[in-house]
Chain A
Amino acid sequence: MKYILAILFFGAMVGIYIFLYLMNKKTPLPEGCEDLKVDCSGCHDFGCTNHPAHHLKKEELQ
C-alpha cells in the first residue's frame, strides 16, 4: 500500500510539473523581453543551455 501511495504521489507531482511547464510555455513574453540572454561567458559545461555555444550560428561554429 505504501509503495502504491508513493507511485501515485510521484505521478501527481510529475503531473503538476508538466502542467505548470506547459502553462508557462503558453504564457506570452512581455514586450521587449523576447531576446533576453544571461550574461555568461561560459564554463566548460556544454550541456548548459546558457553556454554561449548554443547561441552561435552554424557558420560561426565551423
Chain B
Amino acid sequence: MIAELATLLVTCVLINNVILNQFLGMCPFMGVSKKTSSAVGMGIAVVFVIVVASIVTYGLYYLVLVPLGLEFMDLITFILVIASLVQLTEMFIKKTSPSLYKSLGVYLPLITTNCVVLNVCLANISNGFDFIHMLVYSVGTPLGFALVLYIFSTIRERLELSEVPSAFKGNSIALIVAAIMALAFSGFAGLV
C-alpha cells in the first residue's frame, strides 16, 4: 500500500507533471515565473487551494451528488466550489494573518482560473480514487506544479542577466527553456 502511494506521488510530481506533461496551468507558468519570490508564493497558494478543493469536491460528489443521482452536475459544482473556496480562503487570510495575505493574497484570485485545480478535482472522480489515494494525488500534483514553477523562475532570473538575441527575448526564450525542461522531465518516465 505504501509503495503504491509512493509511486503515485512520484508519478504526479515528476512523470505526469501537470505543466510539462499535461500542459495545464500555462498562464501562471509564464506570467508569474519572472521572480523566484513570486513563483514560491504562487506555488504555496496553489498547493493549499488544490488540497482543500479536492477534499471538499470529493466529499460533495460522493455524499451529495451520487445519492441524489446528480453526477452530471459535477463540472458546474466543482467550478462553483473552487470559486467559493478561493473567496473563503482570501477572507480568512485577510482576517487572521496580514503577513500571509501580503505574500499570498494577490495570487489567490488567479487560482480561480487555474485549470490545474479543476483538473485535479475531476481526475479524483474519473480515476475512481479512494480517500487516501485522492489525498496523495491532490498533494502530489500541485507539488509538481510548484517545483517546476520554482525551477523555471530560477532559470528565467538568470536569463535576464544573459545576452539573448533580440528575436528570442521575452516569452520566446522562456518557451524554448520550457520545451527543454519538458524533454529533461520526460527522462523520469522510466523511473517507475
Contact = CB atoms under 8 A, between A and B. Distances in A.
A5 to B, nearest CB: 6
A9 B81 CA distance: 12
Nearest to A5: B68
Contacts of A36: 102, 105-106
Interface in B65-115: 68-70, 72-73, 76-77, 80-81, 83-84, 87-88, 90-91, 94-95, 98, 101-102, 105-107, 109-110, 113
A6 to B, nearest CB: 5
29 contacts: A2-B70, A9-B68, A13-B77, A13-B80, A17-B87, A20-B87, A20-B88, A20-B91, A21-B87, A23-B91, A24-B90, A27-B94, A27-B95, A30-B94, A30-B102, A33-B105, A36-B102, A36-B106, A38-B38, A38-B106, A40-B31, A40-B32, A41-B31, A43-B30, A45-B27, A48-B27, A48-B113, A50-B31, A50-B110
Interface of B: 27, 30-32, 34-35, 38, 64, 68-70, 72-73, 76-77, 80-81, 83-84, 87-88, 90-91, 94-95, 98, 101-102, 105-107, 109-110, 113, 170-171
Contacts of B107: 38
Contacts of A23: 87, 91
Chain A contact-residue range equals 20 to 34
Interface in A16-60: 16-17, 20-21, 23-24, 27-33, 36-43, 45, 48-50
